């Protein structure tokens, strides 16, 4: 059950395709990141975050081996997962 204060997650079609083709390790990382982002997508202390713009953020995985880019809509309490990459 989610708290009313948690952010909703939307997945772009591009992200969905990228996740479908991702290795299991990356899918596991993504699941963990989503759990943290639901609570605080702007300053989650447990994640290395780069701010690309006012509402666009990038999570960097495992020594720069991959990234997850997302957009935050604070007034709607919504996050859109936009892009995902992993270097083998």
Evaluate whether residue 78 is within a structural domain.
Answer: yes
Which whole number is the average pLDDT over 13-29?
92
Confirm whether 3 is domain-assigned.
Answer: no
User: What's the Cα-to-Cα distance from 5 to each of 49, 57, 64, 86, rounded to whole Å?
Assistant: 21, 20, 31, 31
User: Quick check: is 65 in a domain?
Assistant: yes
**Domain contains 1:** no
In a domain, 2, yes or no: no
Q: What is the CATH number of the domain that holds 66?
A: 3.30.2310.20
Is 34 within a domain? yes
Q: What is the pTM of this model?
A: 0.84
List pLDDT tens digits, range 25-84.
889 989 999 998 998 887 766 777 776 677 888 888 877 788 999 999 999 999 999 999
How does strand 56-61 pair with strand 66-73? antiparallel
Domain that holds residue 20: 8-86
């Amino acid at each position: 059950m989610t708290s009313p204060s948690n952010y909703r997650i939307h997945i772009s079609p591009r992200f969905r395709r990228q996740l479908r083709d991702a290795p299991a390790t990356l899918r596991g990382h993504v699941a963990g990141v989503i759990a943290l982002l639901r609570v605080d997508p702007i300053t989650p202390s447990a994640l290395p975050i780069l701010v690309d713009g006012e509402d666009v953020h990038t999570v960097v995985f495992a020594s720069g081996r991959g990234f997850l880019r997302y957009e935050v809509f604070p007034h709607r309490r919504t996050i859109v997962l936009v892009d995902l990459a992993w270097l083998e």
